[in-house]
Every structure is written in structure tokens, then in C-alpha cells.
Amino acid sequence: MRINKQHPGLRKLAWVAALMLLVVLSGCGSQTTSTTGSSGSDTTKLAVVVGGPHPYFAPMPGATKDAQTGFHISQATYRVPTAFTLNDENQAIESLASQGYNAFAIYPDDANGSNATIAELKAKGISVAEIGACTKQPSLAAFCLATDVSQAAYDATKNLIQAMGGKGKIVHLTGQLIDPNTTLREQAVQKAVAETNGAVQLVQTIADIDSPGPADTAVHNLLAAQGNTITGIVATAYNPAVAAAKALTDAQNTHIKLIGIDTDPIVIKAIQEGYAAGTMEQNPYGQAYIAAYALDLIVSHGCKIKAGAPFQIDSGTTLIDKSNVGNYVAASQTVTQQIQQSFKSKYLSC
């Protein structure tokens, strides 16, 4: 996932109480959550560093703690830079490295610039994985665990078409045009529509709206102009999904079917009340949890990435709809467990 941060490139867990706490924490500015384990043989000091304050990352501090407990990691910390800038993220990383952290799971703030930071860490003998988004190749990170954005957008559109009964007119709401992921999402939506042989028409793609204000305005204008003629909306960026879910709920509109992305409470509520057909959950919990597992194997157990293993590894997506919205946390946890349990045999040589 590439999040809009107002510059090029960017916008559970079984315990409900823990989830609520994570959501509150993610809205804070600079944030650190640190814990120390009791394993005497493990030498991993793990740092999970995300791009900046954003609700997408809300499950990650809990995932970090769960991974430390589950895999007996010596020490683990979760850090949120004050702002979505490469400089702020680098400062957080440099501070943690100076404290002896030797394994980093990083959401890269810059597809190019973050590679220099990763190279500096590697030069110090520090292991690095990328989570949530990938830098441009070549990279010295061990791997990147992130959403296959093309597959997720394709699946979202196929699910929307099914919810519409296989025919109708749809609009695609997406992120920043300068973000390479936006192009991949647009192509995936177009592919799914083309497979209907004209039964479904993509009448408009609205991009550059992955922040609250522009997303709200775009959805308001869309519904005012075409609300009576379109039959579906696929939103492949966080804020457009929230804006569309809110607008359809406020209007009590069940005619227009919506498939969104991520699990903002507004989107989940819209699914529960029948104003959204579903949303694609991108598994941020699993991104942090699985990366922690793999990094611990590399640092403390001598594992290495297998020759020929792919750099980008799909962290999995789950369709949340009326059938599983009441227990969507468990649904995403199942995906996480499946990937984690096969990760070592697929990608590592130990």
C-alpha cells in the first residue's frame, strides 16, 4: 500500500479493546511503543518504523507486541515519525540504530530515497525488511511484504461487478497520479471491466483525491452529477473509500454498490448497514507480524533469503462483506497465519 502524504508516493487482533487502543494511538504524532522479552538466546532487537501518522498503521503496534511474545524476540519497539517525510523517518531510524536495534521493518517514505537509508543500515550489519510499500529496485532490503495492488484492485472490481449483478456503470476512485501504484490499479480495474465484454462500463476514473478534503468534494460532485446513472463505485485508496462510504450512508443509498479498501470504521459501518457491498482488507497487521517473524529468523537463527526468492511478497488481502464483517479481524488473522506458517519454507534457507 502506498499512502498519500501530500507529496509524490502517498494517504485487528482478536481483542476489541486492543484494537480500539491502536486506533487512538495511530492518530498521535510521534509515538513509541517498546517492550523487552525474556529470551536469553534471542539477540534480535526489532524496530518497526512506519511512514507517519495514518490509521492504516493502527494494527501494527499490536502486531509488533504479538510477534515479540509469539516468537520470543529479545526486544521490540514500534515507532511513528512525527510527519510523513523522509527526513523525519530517517531521524527515527538513525536514533533507533544508535540504540543497538539490529532488525528494522520499515514502511519506506520514498521509493527512491529510502534505499539510501536501507543501504546505510546494511553497511552497519543491520537487517532490513520493507513493509506496506516497496522501494524501487535494486534494494538491499531482504524482502518487501506488501499488498499486490494490482491483484487487490482487480479483485475489488470483480467483487463490485458481482454485487451489481454483472452489468451497469461504474466509477473508479483512486490515489495520486504520480504514484506508480495508481497506474497499476487503473489497469487492473480496466482489465476486470473489459472481461465483461461490454456488460459493465467504466464511465470515469477520479484520481489525486487520497486525502479527506479532496475525497469528500470529489464524491459529493460525483453523486450530484451522476448519482442517478451509475450503479457502482470501486475505491482503491483509503480516503476515497471513506468518503464514498460516508456519502452513501448519509444518503441511505443502496442503489449504488461500493467496494472500498481498508477497514476504516466508517467503511465497516456502511457494510454492516447495507450501504457498502464490501472492502478489501490489506493486512497491515500481517505485514508487521510476518516481517518480525522473518527478521528474527535472519538475525537470531542464521536464516538467509533463498536464492531466487521474489523480492516483493504479497501480504494478502481479504474481502470483508456482509458475510464476515461481524468477525473481520479473525478473517484477516487467518490470512496472516497462512502466510507466516509457510514463509520459512518458501522464502528462507535456515
Tell whether 138 and 287 lie within a shared domain. yes
Q: Answer yes or no: is 325 within a domain.
A: no
> For residue 33, what pLDDT is reported?
62
The predicted structure's pLDDT at residue 222: 98
Q: Which residues contact 88 (CB under 8 A, 6 or more apart)?
A: 52, 81, 82, 109
Residues belonging to the chain: 350
Residues 164 and 274 placed together within one structural domain of the fold: yes
Residue ranges in the chain whose pLDDT is less than 50: 6-29, 38
Q: Mark whether 271 and 289 lie in a shared domain.
A: no
In a domain, 275, yes or no: yes
Looking at the fold, whether 143 and 157 belong to one and the same domain comes out as no
Whichever domain contains 305, its CATH number is 3.40.50.2300
pLDDT at residue number 31: 57
- Cα separation, 111 vs 179, in Å, equals 10
- Residue at 7 is within a domain: no
User: Is residue 261 one of the residues assigned to a domain?
Assistant: yes
Same domain, 304 and 239: no
pLDDT at 14: 35
pTM for this predicted structure: 0.82
Q: Are residues 123 and 208 in the same domain?
A: no
pLDDT value, residue 316: 94
The CA-based dihedral angle spanning residues 289, 295, 299, 300, taken in that order and rounded to the nearest 10 degrees:
30
Q: Look at the chain and report how many structural domains it folds into.
A: 2
Host domain of residue 200: 149-281
Residue 60 lies in a domain: yes
Indicate if 164 and 204 belong to the same structural domain: yes
Based on the fold, state whether residues 171 and 256 are members of the same structural domain.
yes
Q: Is residue 3 part of a domain?
A: no
